[in-house]
Amino acid sequence: MRLLADSAVAGLRPVSSRSGARLLVLEGGAPGAVLRCGPSPCGLLKQPLDMSEVFAFHLDRILGLNRTLPSVSRKAEFIQDGRPCPIILWDASLSSASNDTHSSVKLTWGTYQQLLKQKCWQNGRVPKPESGCTEIHHHEWSKMALFDFLLQIYNRLDTNCCGFRPRKEDACVQNGLRPKCDDQGSAALAHIIQRKHDPRHLVFIDNKGFFDRSEDNLNFKLLEGIKEFPASAVSVLKSQHLRQKLLQSLFLDKVYWESQGGRQGIEKLIDVIEHRAKILITYINAHGVKVLPMNE
């Protein structure tokens, strides 16, 4: 975290991505190391509008999911006119991703729903060849769905925005994808990423959340097909300590804290998450969703 927040910037490199993100090459590698990612530590510099990725990182850690990459806020005169931006740790161990869906595994909504029924790799069971299972463990989808619902992230499981009423500035509207909701089964999932050495587990990338979505417009499609949720995360959501833990964690990122208006602004963001947590707990109870240990 300190490395991302405080290290001197040794260079800036463009990234081949539509988001306009750039790589910051940071000082901190071995003496004499080549100034490129690998020998030198790097951070992915994103836009000021993506600042919710920092909140997402802290929420992920508080819930015990540990699926996001470390993210901090940073200001510099040569970056966005000194406005705070999120910087995400660049991780060379991530599997190669396709250009169209930015995923290491190609899945459609229809095949994803079939995978959920197969419960791939659960309880150590090796899937049958005809099951259509990927290398991803069944519980990973439960963790992703819970995380994405709390933050209302739609760019993984609902890229066409079929489960809510999008705004005109949402990517699905900008890219003319909403009409494709007539054929949801063939909609591609996006940003589904694993590590090369650990294909059983997902890494949550591009975690831009939305705090301004009203209660009557929450995207419950993100929870479709999910029959279990992780016990450790649900226990945090049910406890009286979620707010305090988030406050303590977010306070460590001074730039983010100040960019959101200090404690008052941070409390408003936590209000939203707490309210969605209550809605999720109600959903779990109403639909008989199981709450299981998911520590594999």
Residues 76 and 117 grouped into a single domain: no
Instruction: Write down the pLDDT at residue 9.
Output: 74
Order of strands across the sheet that contains 71-74 = 9-14, 22-26, 42-45, 85-89, 71-74
Instruction: Write down the pLDDT at residue 33.
Output: 55
The three-class DSSP label of residue 74 is strand
**Residue ranges, the chain, pLDDT below 70:** 1, 3, 10, 13-21, 27-36, 38-39, 77-80, 296
Q: How far apart are CA 218 and CA 149, in angstroms?
A: 8
239-261 tens-digit pLDDT:
999 999 999 999 999 999 999 99
Instruction: Write down the pLDDT at residue 213.
Output: 94
Tell me how many domains the chain contains: 2
Enclosing domain of residue 133: 109-292
Residues 133 and 260 grouped into a single domain: yes
Residues 82 and 128 grouped into a single domain: no
Instruction: Write down the pLDDT at residue 163.
Output: 97
Residues 46 and 143 grouped into a single domain: no
Instruction: Write down the pLDDT at residue 81.
Output: 75
Nearest-5° Cα angle at 208, 103 to 183: 55
Instruction: Write down the pLDDT at residue 17.
Output: 55
- Relative to beta strand 42-45, strand 71-74 is unpaired
Residues 75 and 205 grouped into a single domain: no
